[in-house]
Amino acid sequence: MLPKLAGHLAKRGIILLLTVVVAVYVTIWIANMGGYVDEIVKGEVYLSISQSVRQNPAYRHLNETQVRELIDALYANELKRIGFDKPFIYRSFAYLKDAITLSLGRALWISSASGSKSVYIIITERLPNTVLLFTTTQLLLFFIGLFVGLFLSRRYGSVADRLAVMLAPLSSLPGWFYGIFLILIFASYLRLLPYGGMVDVPPPTDSLSYALSVLKHMTLPVLSWLVAYSFINIYVRRTFFLMFSSEDYVELAKAKGLPESVIQRRYVLRPTLPPIITDFSLSLIASWMGAIITERVFNWPGIGSLLYSASVMFDTPVLVGLVVIYAYLLAVTVFTLEVVYAILDPRIRMGGA
């Protein structure tokens, strides 16, 4: 049994890894179609060579023109060494190797708050802000959808249920769009909450008031997503639960006279939980990346804002780095889910399905 499981997981893992590799490779081609990646690499090579020449005590005695000539000669040599005299197809694999091993290189213009130019540091510095905001949001959405959906599925056709169905179309407007209205009402008109940002300026010194300040700044972005996506979440969950509540085994449980709460927990929630959790984890990862506009509207210093400034400033290494990190996050999540299901689901465990 165990080897079978391990074999299955290993196969899935390899397929996922290959998927990520191909996706990153596609990204490199997209990014280089304008010749941008080449420019980045050339710039980086030139910078590192000129730095090493200028800092080398052996070359102290040279004057400026000689130094420049030396740098140019070394630069041309180095370009040849890393294969710039060959067509892009050869080099693309070198880039792929760098991206896959997470040596994401240096940013062109953007630097991290600590002053670093390393793309990896820049991204990992912003990632927690995004994760904080959108994990909170997604957790709230998840529980609201789950509990209200479950509640409504028991009261099918009631006023509350019909109201939820009626309000579902409101979710066709995205979160950032509601965000604009919330800013208009709570920041611009009522002046209760800040327009955007993450903490007050200057940031409070003690950690409690810092946390409170962050909480205050989080309120509107979180609220905008709750307004936007709660209704559709509730609607989808409710419909889902309704479909499962009419299964034969639920009817049987009812006929046996089991209490409502037990039926809900054991016979409706339990079999529906796996797809719900898959859905939750995938939309969580997607929200870390897909919230660019929400972050821009609320000026939230996360991955989305970083992506926005990187695209405005043509900072290709940062853009490619973000895509790579996203692909990895997604693949790891999918793989984790596979592992969990493989352990939980007897059909997969036994290799039957």
Partner 1 sequence: MASRAKRFFEQLLFYRSAAIGLAIILVLVGISVYAIFAIPYDEAVRLWRAGEQHWLSNPRNALPSWVNIFSSKKLPETIILDTSEPKPGVSKAIVPVLERFSRIRIEFSFDYQYDDFPSELNLFFKSRFNASAPQLTVHWAKPNGEEYVLNTMIISREDKYYISNDDRLARELRGLISAKVNRTIEYDAPVTLLLFAEEDASILNPSTAKVMKGTYRLWIEGMAFETNVDVDARLIVYGKVYGWAGTDHLRRDIGIALLWGTPIALSFGVVASVSIALIQMFIGAVSAWFLGRVDTVLQRLTEVFMVLPFLPVVIMISTFYKINIWVLLLVVIGLTAFGSGVKNYRAMFLQIKEFPYVEAARAYGAGSFRIIARYLIPKVLPTIIPSMVLSVPDFVFLEAALAILGLGDPLAPTWGKIIDDAFTYGALYKGLYYWVLEPSVLLAITSLSFAMLGFALDKIFNPRLKEA
Q: Which residues are at the interface with partner 1 (CB under 8 A)?
A: 15, 18-20, 22-23, 26-27, 30-31, 33-34, 36, 156, 165-166, 168-174, 176-177, 180-181, 183-184, 187-188, 195, 239, 242-243, 246, 286, 289-290, 292-293, 296-297, 307-308, 311-312, 314, 319, 322-323, 326-327, 330-331
The C-alpha atoms of residue 134 and residue 219 are separated, in whole angstroms, by 12
Cis peptide bond upstream of 57, omega within 30: no
Q: 103 Cβ partners below 8 Å, 6+ apart?
A: 120
What is the smallest separation between the CB atom of 320 and partner 1, expressed in angstroms?
8
The C-alpha atoms of residue 5 and residue 11 are separated, in whole angstroms, by 10
The C-alpha atoms of residue 173 and residue 123 are separated, in whole angstroms, by 29
Mapped onto helix, strand or coil, the DSSP state of residue 287 is helix
118 DSSP 8-state letter: B
CB-nearer residue toward partner 1: 59 or 328: 328
CB-nearer residue toward partner 1: 71 or 294: 294
What is the smallest separation between the CB atom of 188 and partner 1, expressed in angstroms?
5
Task: Count CA atoms closer than 13 A to 317's CA, side-chain side.
Answer: 26
What is the smallest separation between the CB atom of 106 and partner 1, expressed in angstroms?
18
CB-nearer residue toward partner 1: 33 or 73: 33
What is the smallest separation between the CB atom of 104 and partner 1, expressed in angstroms?
14
The C-alpha atoms of residue 162 and residue 315 are separated, in whole angstroms, by 49
CB-nearer residue toward partner 1: 176 or 280: 176
What is the smallest separation between the CB atom of 154 and partner 1, expressed in angstroms?
13
Could you tell me how many residues make up the chain? Answer: 353
Tokens at 11, concatenated: 């196969």
CB-nearer residue toward partner 1: 78 or 125: 125
Q: Are 88 and 33 in contact (CB under 8 A)?
A: no
Nearest-CA neighbor of 219 among 189, 190, 187?
187
Tokens at 343, concatenated: 């352990």
What is the smallest separation between the CB atom of 59 and partner 1, expressed in angstroms?
38
CB-nearer residue toward partner 1: 53 or 167: 167
191 Rama sector, left if φ>0, alpha if ψ -120 to 50, beta otherwise: left
CB-nearer residue toward partner 1: 211 or 249: 249
Q: Are 5 and 340 in contact (CB under 8 A)?
A: no
106 DSSP 8-state letter: B
What is the smallest separation between the CB atom of 5 and partner 1, expressed in angstroms?
22
What is the smallest separation between the CB atom of 337 and partner 1, expressed in angstroms?
14
CB-nearer residue toward partner 1: 10 or 73: 10
